[in-house]
Structure 1
Amino acid sequence: MELELRHLRTLRTIAEAGSLTRAATVLGLAQPALSAQLRRIERTLGGALFERGRNGVRATALGELVLERTRVVLPAVSELQQEAAEFARGRRQGERLRLGGTHGPLLGALVDRLADAAPGTSLTTRASWSERELAGLLAEGRLDFALAGTCGSAPPPDGTHLVWEEIAVDPVFVMLADTHPLARGREIDLAALADEAWACVPGDGCFADCFTAACARAGFTPRRMYETDTASCVHLVQVGRAVGLCRATFPSTPGLTTRPLAGTPLVWRHLLGWRPAGQRPGTAATVLALSRKAHEDAAARSDGYARWLDQRGEPAAAAHRRPGRASVSARGRDARLP
């Protein structure tokens, strides 16, 4: 006989009732039938679960172990059934999800996965360079979920009223023109880029401060920073006017090479945020799982990131583990990563 959830519920009822007679009444069974079922369960689990006496039954040591597990398993299964039903009901009713995100590969990948997972759901998107703006839209109920990011261990925006869950942590790579002398190396020392101009998209986190601090540790101060949109950053790198900083998941682009920085001086945390009062737990868990899968796929599609992970003997899913920490400083209007 294989142990089933109904058997765990039977054991819980016996323990709560304190006697087979009372438990049989609760379960709507004859006592002999309940006693026979208990014996089958005990044979399956390898020993007596209850000691029988004049005052009823008392759990044995094995019985206490099994009952302790039922206190975890049964509520978890009940919660799963409820969340699955709510998620399916939302799909049948044409659920609407409003997604926000900063510039990067994950927002489109998440939309693609949600469209497959919940084809009846109406999906809308909004992009912004500002994590604070996205947090405000979440708090106001104008977005359901937002993909954002922070540098190193910096806290997410509006951590008091919103839930932020980590999707993954990436090393920060450098973008170079294919013709750049350093583009042929496996990794690049930050100090070797001391004479370069830099390109990055705007942001309101602490990344620019962390980058400046990393450059100072490498012995130089960045001589110029072009803060502009992603397409302009890519163009400036392709024509050799600048080098750029990017997430390791940055997609392969003609005329452009991405390389890891030696020692991983900077890292980027991908986050998914939502307002707890505005979301069912099952929906949030599903969107978070799909976001992590979207990141894993993006990491696998990036040749440079795949090589970086392969050199460490790690699969793309290892990106969910933290490769390091970056310094944290006061936050103002700052650069961020394409």
Structure 2
Amino acid sequence: MRARAPSYPRGMELEVRHLRALCAIADTGSLHKASRQLGVSQPSLTTQLRRIENSLGAELFSRGRTGCRPTPLGRSLLSRARPLVAGMAALVDETRAAAARTGGQGLRVGSTASRALPGWLRRLRQRLPGTDIALRMDVSANALLRSVAGGQLDVAFVHEVEGCPLRVPEGLDGRVLVDREPQFVSLARDHPAAARPVVDLADLATDHWMVDPTVDGEWDGLRRVLDAAGIDPPLLHGDYHTAASLIALGEAVAPCQPTSVPREDMAVRPLRGDPLAVRLLLYARPGAPLDTLYAELAAAYREVALRAAPYREWLRRQGTAAELPVGPCMMTA
């Protein structure tokens, strides 16, 4: 009698990216090797696997000193996942080829989270009338860069956490938008440290810090800075939408972009010495109008930077407001 296929909880939705991650773990036999293959951090992949297993209610891999091995349930799931992953890859390739044959005018934009994004898209639509502009958001800068290299995107605006270099595929054209953008901290409006214009890391040593481990380099970058400061605050893992609610209640603090706009219940402050920073980068496939894309992005970024009072004040103190991006800037090593 043929064995029945495993039954998964109703409402569980496994996306192709989840199946691709499971196949990579099985193929490499290691979370570390799989994370390198997928271009994500190991904590991010570990968290993703844990969420998948929690949703299914069973372990898919057994972990040991020799690595990760599929459980019987994992082998059953993988036997059905591999054809789906291969089929989706073939579908993407065929669709891309068909789109190229139509000769339609379009621009496929990828981006990590940025407050400059709405203004950039608005400017691009004004600058390139008649162009069909499609947007893809992703927390993984490495995934976006792979998509540009693979032809699924034309351009990607990404950030690189200081000390955690991105894996940039060969053949892409790049520009540096901001070589070192300081990361600020968001905290409750009534937090004692919010009364000062600049916050010391030591003032937040006992606060819960919230970080999203799925963002490339975010966890490693924050951990490195906290270790260098000699503090070991409690850490929470979660997305930044959830973080905003906890921060407003005084339950957590979190790194944030300097372009963040303060709210009535939340303050945004720079950190003394600017220990946290990212590099803002624009990459495009060969043949894309990179100078035009960069110029409109630079204008949009400058607009949001000067609109955010904490960042504007920081720029004034540094005397670097005039150094905000305004035009083409070639990629540096």
Fold similarity call, TM over 0.5: yes
Q: Which amino acid aligns with 1:205?
A: D
1:269 aligns with 2:279: yes
Structure 1 counterpart SS, 2:262: coil
Q: 1:289 aligns with which of 289, 295, 298?
A: 295
Structure 1 counterpart SS, 2:233: coil
Deviation at 1:94, TM superposition (A): 7.0
List structure 1 segments (4+ residues) > 6 angstroms apart after TM superposition.
none
Deviation at 1:319, TM superposition (A): 4.0
Q: String of CA shifts for 1:65-89, please: whole Å, max 9, x gaps.
A: xxxxxxxxxxxxxxxxxxxxxxxxx
Alpha-carbon separation, structure 2, partners of 1:298 and 1:233: 22
Q: 1:213 aligns with which of 224, 232, 236?
A: 224
Alpha-carbon separation, structure 2, partners of 1:211 and 1:118: 39
Deviation at 1:191, TM superposition (A): 1.3
Going from structure 1 to structure 2, the CA distance change for 1:157 and 1:251 (only over 3 Å counts) comes to farther
Q: Which amino acid aligns with 1:236?
A: L
Structure 2 counterpart SS, 1:245: strand
Partner of 2:150: 140
Q: 1:246 aligns with which of 242, 256, 262?
A: 256
Going from structure 1 to structure 2, the CA distance change for 1:212 and 1:154 (only over 3 Å counts) comes to closer
Alpha-carbon separation, structure 2, partners of 1:134 and 1:196: 33
- Superposition TM-score, scaled by structure 1 size: 0.62
Going from structure 1 to structure 2, the CA distance change for 1:253 and 1:159 (only over 3 Å counts) comes to farther
1:162 aligns with 2:168: no
Q: Which amino acid aligns with 2:301?
A: H
Going from structure 1 to structure 2, the CA distance change for 1:156 and 1:254 (only over 3 Å counts) comes to same
Q: Contact 2:106 / 2:131 at 8 angstroms: preserved in 1?
A: yes
1:200 aligns with 2:200: no
Structure 1 alignment gaps of length 5 or more: 1-92, 322-338
Q: 1:114 aligns with which of 119, 124, 133?
A: 124
Deviation at 1:270, TM superposition (A): 1.1
Partner of 2:308: 302
Q: Contact 1:250 / 1:302 at 8 angstroms: preserved in 2?
A: yes
Deviation at 1:156, TM superposition (A): 3.0
Partner of 1:318: 323
Q: String of CA shifts for 1:246-277, please: whole Å, max 9, x gaps.
A: 1111233331111000011111111111122x
Where does 1:40-119 land on structure 2 (aligned, <5 Å)?
95-119=105-129
Q: Which amino acid aligns with 1:233?
A: A
Q: Contact 2:110 / 2:156 at 8 angstroms: preserved in 1?
A: yes
* Count of equivalent residues: 223
Q: Which has the larger radius of gyration?
A: 1
Alpha-carbon separation, structure 2, partners of 1:232 and 1:142: 30
Alpha-carbon separation, structure 2, partners of 1:225 and 1:207: 13
Return 151-160 or 113-122, whichever deviates more: 151-160
- Superposition TM-score, scaled by structure 2 size: 0.63
Percent identity of equivalent pairs: 30
Deviation at 1:122, TM superposition (A): 1.1
Q: Which amino acid aligns with 2:302?
A: E
Alpha-carbon separation, structure 2, partners of 1:202 and 1:286: 33
